[in-house]
Structure 1
């Protein structure tokens, strides 16, 4: 991967988005959507704004270079004005989840992957870019700016992704997918009426969105399919944890729990783990032993190699 391609694309997108913000009464992120759309399909009305800038030829770019260049621009646009749900999964984590998906689906010739909280599409794209088989992605997102950025992400990388702009906890026009990847939105779900359709609804007050997303994800996963969630470490410590535990054991096998390094997070309360489930089916069985580990810093190459060896060993000895 060429770092200069990442930087060139970022600079072009940043300059174009800034110009559009200044001249067209847009926010930076709206400018970024417009610039990304123009890059994919040049339109005369914006040509004056971008004419003096050296346009990157995306035919010379790898998918990951495009994803990372766009991600840098999105991160800049989100800085300072970021709400909790406007959060991008860290690159190292997204790539590691892609590695895990690859390990669990080595035999699959083609597959479908669904992210029910796809945001800007960064996690879904990072996973798709690491798979060698034919893959179709599906993403759902309620925020209009984020889903437009996900659309740009898919188009510029030429990834086959179908996007749903809706409340992801409402019924989706989607067949169950082979796998699910998702950085779960954490917090309360405001629609108490719709929450009544879920087993994991709260008996009183608002239900936890992160619980409902787990249930919805299992609903849209094929039997025997795997789900890779980024969860808050306090997931099983809440007042509704027993209900969640019972639900998971009823519908899925717990395959693994990999705690991300605490150094990645500004506070203990924000710390996350990768939680791997398999949806129960007629022929499924739990692993002999769940894959449990505290992941080292992704920057520590030696420690990370050791961890990858341990994961490989688990696949050989304890997976089934």
Structure 2
């Protein structure tokens, strides 16, 4: 109970500090939360052109010293900050595509990646999230991987939303994770190279810049192309030979009017290794249902899995079925991914 109180205290003090900064700077709550996290990581209040003023700085310093006295584990710290992010997104009325990815999805993707990389005997991983958003999926994924095994990550995140990217960067700093943040359109050319693994909860919808879409094989025959198709192609193109892409996509991705172009591109460029529907209790409706799709780039030691891992992931609280699923993933990874 004491731990819950500590987490509650952390959240409330962060909320007070962010609200104070928001009023002082006239910014969005998300921007002020990002600045609060940066200030905490740096150990000082950032002041530019006299803002925030001296009185506000004194109040913030008092709040920050109280926050630093709270002792939380890494897991508790992340949970407390996640609640602050949810608060920020409610207050700023953030659009659906930019909402924070639930922790459960980070946990499930890490469980599968752990088995794959253990089978490949690869512990040093260059990782990118091309639609990093708040950073929650990326941070949860890394935290879970490092709790389960001895993994070392070099991490990069791309996003075209400067506010969210700033939040992801400051969130990662407080979690002692060094994130290289790139503010750009993920469908435009990347500066990042040497990538072993990509993980992304892809925004769904049409991509408005047809000139950029023109160079992709997954582009629509006419009209706007699906952004999530282009992002999958772009990401896989930028991976090392044999690199893996773990994508959170709509469950119906292979049943849409543009699915044929996606499938044609996949056949000649990547191996489809897994398609797993996420537990339905994570989504408000059947239409919102998402799946994990795992692709592997041709080259290196990669080959098509003898059995594509397919099905629906059981709910984590269904202990017997979930344990069976874990065993199935472990066996599949051992049989299909070699070091």
Q: Given the two structures, how large is their TM-score scaled by the length of structure 2? A: 0.88
Deviation at 1:63, TM superposition (A): 3.2
* 1:254-269 alignment runs, 5 A limit: 254-269=272-287
Equivalent residue for 1:98? 110
Cα distance in 2 for partners of 1:237, 1:197 equals: 23
**CA contact 1:20–1:31 (8 Å) conserved in 2:** yes
* 1:1-320 alignment runs, 5 A limit: 3-41=4-42, 42-43=44-45, 45=52, 46-53=56-63, 55-57=66-68, 60-79=71-90, 81-106=93-118, 107-129=121-143, 130-131=145-146, 132-317=150-335
Q: Which segment is superposed worse, 179-188 or 38-47?
A: 38-47
Cα distance in 2 for partners of 1:37, 1:31 equals: 10
Cα distance in 1 for partners of 2:298, 2:328 equals: 26
**CA contact 1:18–1:31 (8 Å) conserved in 2:** yes
Specify whether residues 222 and 62 from structure 1 end up closer, same or farther in structure 2 by C-alpha distance, changes over 3 A only.
farther
Q: Deviations over 1:187-221 (max 9, x none)?
A: 00011111112111112111110000000110111
Specify whether residues 235 and 4 from structure 1 end up closer, same or farther in structure 2 by C-alpha distance, changes over 3 A only.
same
Q: Deviations over 1:99-149 (max 9, x none)?
A: 222221121131100110000111111122223222111110001110010
Deviation at 1:232, TM superposition (A): 0.3
Unaligned residue ranges in structure 2 (runs of 5+) = none
Deviation at 1:79, TM superposition (A): 1.6
Specify whether residues 120 and 20 from structure 1 end up closer, same or farther in structure 2 by C-alpha distance, changes over 3 A only.
same
Cα distance in 1 for partners of 2:160, 2:232 equals: 17
**CA contact 2:242–2:296 (8 Å) conserved in 1:** yes
Deviation at 1:319, TM superposition (A): 5.7
Cα distance in 2 for partners of 1:189, 1:198 equals: 12
Specify whether residues 18 and 217 from structure 1 end up closer, same or farther in structure 2 by C-alpha distance, changes over 3 A only.
same
Deviation at 1:60, TM superposition (A): 4.7
Specify whether residues 161 and 167 from structure 1 end up closer, same or farther in structure 2 by C-alpha distance, changes over 3 A only.
same
How many equivalent residue pairs? Answer: 319
**CA contact 2:220–2:261 (8 Å) conserved in 1:** no
More helix by share: 2
**CA contact 1:288–1:319 (8 Å) conserved in 2:** no
Q: What secondary structure, in the 3-state scheme, does the structure 2 residue paired with 1:287 have?
A: coil
Deviation at 1:59, TM superposition (A): 9.5
Q: Given the two structures, how large is their TM-score scaled by the length of structure 1? A: 0.93
Q: Which has the higher contact order (CA 8 A, sep 6+)?
A: 2
Deviation at 1:299, TM superposition (A): 2.8
**CA contact 1:176–1:219 (8 Å) conserved in 2:** no
